[in-house]
A and B are shown apart, each in its own frame.
Chain A
Amino acid sequence: MIRAVIVINDQGKPRLVKFYDYQPVEKQQEIIRNIYGVLCSRAENVSNFVQDSTFGPDTRLVYKTFATLYFIVIFDESENELAILDLMQVFVETLDKCFSNVCELDIVFNFNKVHTILDEIILGGQVVEMSSSEVVKSIDDISWLEKNPNSITRVSKSISGWQGR
């Protein structure tokens, strides 16, 4: 299964952290630090795989660099390395479609939405959707649900502000 999906920037700042097994915060920090240490020491144009022992002897790590960001997936031996690379491509494509020309700032300022997108692709460490167009469809649905009250008690963001006054 997939153990974690992490996005960090080239300064080592985390932009998206999702662990599929419970990990205490300290452990999460340590893992991110370790990964960043490993990744920055790697030259450009090298393979995308790192033997990683953060979760035990059998875990692997695949990463991909997009502009200033490292996309990282940690997984165990029931996943295929190349398939995970494809999966990352799907994730990034989806981000790109949702934010039109995604850049680091989009991910910084859309913390919730990025999580929503990820949750549509991976659930409980299992891949549930591989088609970015399907994911985009779901995301559109969800955005609509968030904005439109489909029940009388629901109030939209702007109205609730007025009510508060």
Chain B
Amino acid sequence: MSGTGGPSLMDSLFQRTLDDLIKGIRLHLPGPAQSTFISKSLDEIRREITSTDLHTKSTALQKLTYLHSLHHFDISFAAFHAVELTSSPSFLHKKTGYLAASLSFRPSTDVLLLLTNQLRKDLSSTNQHEVSLALECLSVICTLDLARDLTPDIFNLLMSSKIFVRKKAVACLLKVFSQYPDAVRVCFKRLVENLETVGGAGDNGTMLAATVGVFCELARKEPRAYLPLAPEFYKILVESRNNWVLIKVLKIFAQLGRLEPRLAKKVVEPICELMKRSEAKSLVFECVRTVVSSFYEYEFAVKLAVEKIREFLLDSDLNLRYLGLQGLLLVAPHHLWAVVENKEVVIKSLSDVDRNIKLEALRLVMSMVCDDNVVEICRVLVGYALKSDPEFCNEILRSMLSTCSKNVYEIIIDFDWYVSLLGEMARIPHCQNGEEIEYQLIDIGMRVKDVRPELVRVGRDLLIDPALLGNPFIHRILSAAAWVSGEYVKFSRNPFEIMEALLQPRTNLLPPSIRSVYIHSAFKVLSFCLHSYLSFEKGASSSPPNFVDIEPGFTYSESEQEFTETDQATSSSALHKRDTFTQESIANVLTLVITSLTPLAESHDVEIQERVRNVLGLARLAQQEISCHNDQKEKMVDKADLKTSIIIRLINDALSEDFGPISFSAQERVPVPDGLVLEENLSKLDSICADVQLPISESFSLVKPIFLPADGDSISNQQNEEESETSAAESTSLLAEHRKRHGLFYLPSDHSKDASSSFPPANDPKQRDNDVDDLVKLTEESLVLKRKPNLSRPRPVVVKLDEGDRLPIAVKKTDENDDLISGAVRDVLLGNEASSHSNNLSGRRKGKSHSKDKVENSETGSSSKRRSKHRNHGKNVEENENGEKGKQKSGGKHKSRRRADGGVDVAVEKPVIPDFLL
């Protein structure tokens, strides 16, 4: 650019103005033509902006600012020119420069500091509009350096005689404070003084509005620091007639009232007065919001607020209706009756044209849900979901799912109902919440034993419907349905039907990951059928099927044993229908399995291929067994039993082991065994597992397989045992082994339990039993408390872990600057300014951690001080008050007189209110 040697005379003469540029842009169609035009103009501007003629430069900068603000071009190259123009004597040029700076400068702009002097000059200008330009610019681009350097100038403006300048300085102060908290020490007193300019000369309330606005922002971040100012705010609350001011004061009291109940008592009546009296809806709504969010303990105020909310709800203006619903949402946590009272309006709003209103109504409906009405409300909501547009329909489903599952399904008593509701949701045409429904179906299956039969029925209904397979959104649900049908197949009325459903041709519409779940479930169903058939055959002559586990070191806890027995009771009662597991039906199933899965054995998807081979391995083995059974029924029965049925029994035993919910921190709680080096290279393990590929990752199971690397010896020993037992069908044994390892990991042997007494593994059966017992107790208690004699049956036991089941939410970090600001405010208000000022400065220089410590110290210091004031307050109110005031404000005599007048009156009225509130 320097090569061009500056713009020629012709450039200046025929320079395009901003209007020309805008016209040009509008003439060219958006797309290449327009961008060519703009880049051509940019080239011109780059030349023009280096001009020595300020007018040319200013026009160029105007164009750049326009292009930056509305066409998002980078104009950082012009930053210096903007600074240059701000120092122009011409107001127009100055304004152009400041506008460019405030719209395009960023905290990292390097010429920012060059602006300091000019800003200082303009802040002290006699022309109020020049001051205003500087303030506006500073309020946007303020950095720590600018704030520090210009604090004295802003301070001067805070007592300017021109309201026009003063209110802008106050508004700008907020940004200065946030960048440079120490400015609070300088400016705070003057800011407080501005609170008392009610009805100042020629002011229409904007001065006070700006000041209160700043306090409102400050108090939002750390309200406690502003409690000492409560008397000033109270005065404004009762005296001001400016709605804007009142709204901000109400917002301040909403914060302060939560901290100081006595203050709440004092302001709640004036607020009610305002609420009754005011015509302005904005103010009325603010009153309502303040009352229901902070002063909800005052029955009469809440009643009045709810009345107003009702007026809003019945208004024809949609905005008011929306806000009415929002207000109701704020009332709901403490006064549910208000929502119930307006139930019809809320429900009706669910079908409003406005999405916002519908959403608020939905939230309200959800807030009404409790264990008594959850069934009814969900029925209504499903009705609305069917009628609604897809987006809102899913919103409804989402909130139903999250409300019902809150706190481990706290509000659900009838799980059979809930599970069938989940099934129903899957059939809603727009349903896109497959993932959550999938999670819950499996989660409930694992947590609530009693619901499993119903779960299997729901799963069956979903699986046998071929139409559902065509909807990709519910594939995840089908995956869960397949999993529960396989896992809990013993509850199924007709396992053959499930097998047919799992292998139906349309399953080729499923993605491979879900299809492999189907196939694995088919494997479980098959093994169950075979086992039932064989044990039934055997049972005809000898004892009932033997479920005692053969694995050494593996023990069922008592309740689990009971459970298994009752399971057997149910399943064997099904078996008593003699025709269920006939030789013929088993043969049919085997044929079905083999014919439908054989083509898949060559599938390109490893997961499918592997699982198909597992199933086929078992099926072929069983087929031989059945046929040999058939041929030599009499002679060979014993021998066949020895071989195949042992295998099948093994597999079935492995499969019928229960999954339980796993805590998120389970892995951390597993103790590291002695002598185990976790960092060691796993090459040793490789050689052991060379021929054993463990099936990893069942996408749906919450139990992520985690292999506990144990001593190599024990693994190989175990493996040897297994190999000798199951050499006949390798593919099937792999699965059994996988299961076994799961068991080894989650249900550790006695030995490891001793070692881990302090940190029990998450799924330790004994531990779980304790939990269950506790829960049983808890449920009993809650039942007693709620007194529900009409409860037809008790809520089933829900397995809960002792901590949060889903991931904990990160704790919100507070802004350090806020701490600093409020620390400074406290210092100023409580009068220990002088002592800590220098401290704080040095602290900031030394480093953040140091200054933070200081602030904390000052906080504890000030709070203890306050406490001591509380203590001796009862003895002599007035004296204490004067002392307090002396501390608070060293300057301003007339002010303290006023305060004394007002203060004594109220103190006599209500002696319980602490000194500093009056």
Contacts and interface: CB of A to CB of B under 8 A. Distances in A.
B70 A50 contact: no
B206 interface: yes
B744 to A, nearest CB: 45
B267 to A, nearest CB: 18
A42 B353 CA distance: 10
Contacts of B171: 123-126, 128
A92 interface: no
A47 B216 contact: no
B452 interface: no
A67 interface: no
A7 to B, nearest CB: 10
Contact of B70 (A111, A119, A145, A155): A111
B62 interface: yes
Contact of A81 (B217, B220, B323, B354): B323
A152 B337 CA distance: 73
B168 A130 contact: no
B106 A24 contact: yes
B129 A141 contact: yes
B93 to A, nearest CB: 9
Contacts of B136: 119, 123-124
B319 A125 contact: no
A128 B89 contact: no
A49 B322 contact: yes
Given A123-B135, A155-B90, A109 B172 contact: no
B210 A83 contact: no
A82 interface: yes
B319 A85 contact: yes
Interface stretch (B280-288, B405-413, B551-559): B280-288
Contacts of B248: 78
B90 A154 contact: yes
Contacts of A147: 92
Interface in B202-256: 204, 206, 209-210, 213-214, 216-217, 220, 243-244, 247-248, 251
B482 interface: no
A111 B91 contact: no
A82 B92 CA distance: 36
A125 B18 contact: no
Contacts of B12: 161, 164
Contacts of B132: 119-120, 123
Contacts of A48: 318-319
Interface string A118-142: 0110011111111100100010011
A161 B12 CA distance: 8
B82 to A, nearest CB: 14
B70 A14 contact: yes
B879 interface: no
Interface in B72-110: 72, 74, 89-92, 95-96, 99, 103, 106-107
A108 interface: yes
Contacts of A20: 139-140
A88 to B, nearest CB: 12
A134 B135 CA distance: 19
Given A83-B244, A126-B210, A128-B210, A45 B217 contact: no
Nearest to A32: B72
Contacts of A42: 355
Interface in A29-43: 29, 42-43
Interface in A17-68: 17-18, 20, 22, 24-26, 28-29, 42-43, 45-51
A97 interface: no
A26 B65 CA distance: 16
Given A48-B319, A83-B247, A160-B55, A28 B210 contact: no
A142 B281 CA distance: 35
A109 B244 contact: no
B321 interface: yes
A20 B9 CA distance: 39
B13 A124 contact: no
Contact of B55 (A15, A116, A157): A157
30 contacts: A15-B70, A22-B107, A25-B72, A42-B355, A45-B318, A46-B355, A46-B357, A47-B321, A49-B319, A49-B322, A50-B356, A51-B359, A77-B220, A80-B251, A81-B285, A83-B243, A109-B19, A111-B18, A112-B96, A115-B99, A119-B136, A120-B132, A126-B171, A128-B168, A138-B129, A141-B129, A146-B92, A146-B95, A157-B55, A160-B55
Interface of A: 1, 13-15, 17-18, 20, 22, 24-26, 28-29, 42-43, 45-51, 77-78, 80-83, 85-86, 108-109, 111-112, 115-116, 119-120, 123-131, 134, 138, 141-142, 145-147, 149-151, 153-155, 157, 160-161, 163-165
10 nearest CB pairs, A to B: A124-B139, A82-B282, A126-B171, A46-B354, A160-B55, A47-B318, A164-B12, A145-B91, A146-B92, A47-B322
